[in-house]
Each structure stands twice: as structure tokens, then as C-alpha cells.
Amino acid sequence: MEFYAIVFFFLLIHKHIMVFFHVLGVCMWEILMYGIKPFQGVKNNDVIGKIENGERLPLPLDCPPSMYNLMCQCWSYEPSKRPSFSDIKVRLQ
């Protein structure tokens, strides 16, 4: 029983880390947009549909393409396709 609890714990942590990368991309976008709310004017339930249909936040004005590319990778629908901490660190240096 303890083995399954440990496996469940690590799977839960992994899932939260993958969600963190998505949130990190949104946070970078908000900073570059000077605090504008993402998907402004769209209801929360509708935002999920937009994301599932592949829609992403637009390129902020004066945002370097490499930074926007990193944000888009953080927003990958498949968590396994999102960058790792080490990838993000290297790309932001």
C-alpha cells in the first residue's frame, strides 16, 4: 500500500509542475503586457475552450520572438511538450 501512495504522490507533484510551466508562460505574458488580463472580456469557461482549440495569447508589443516562442512552448496543450526548468533557465540567460 505504501508503494502506491509514494507513486501517487510523485505523479501528483509531476502534474503540478507541468501546470506551473503553463502558468509561468501566462505570467511572462502579463508582465510584457503591463498587467493586462489574459483573454480580457472572455468568460473563464470560454477560455478553456479557446485553449483546447489551439488559441493562444497574442504576441505582446516589443516582445522578442524568442521570448514569445518560449511562452508558446509553456502553453503546449500536452504537458510533456512543455520546457523543463533547465530549458527555461538556459533560454532566459
Instruction: Domains for the chain: give ranges and CATH numbers.
Output: 2-92 (1.10.510.10)
How far is the C-alpha of 70 from the C-alpha of 89, rounded, in Å? 11
Kindly give the confidence (pLDDT) of every residue in the chain, 93 residues in length, as a single tens digit, with 9 standing for 90 and above.
454 455 445 545 555 566 677 788 888 899 999 989 898 898 888 888 888 888 999 999 999 999 999 999 999 888 888 888 888 888 888
**Which candidate, 75, 79, 73, 77, places its Cα nearest to that of 92?**
73
Question: For 52, how many CA atoms within 13 A lie in the half-sphere containing its CB?
Answer: 6
How far is the C-alpha of 52 from the C-alpha of 50, rounded, in Å? 5
CA distances in angstroms from 50 to 33, 83, 88, listed in the order given: 20, 22, 25
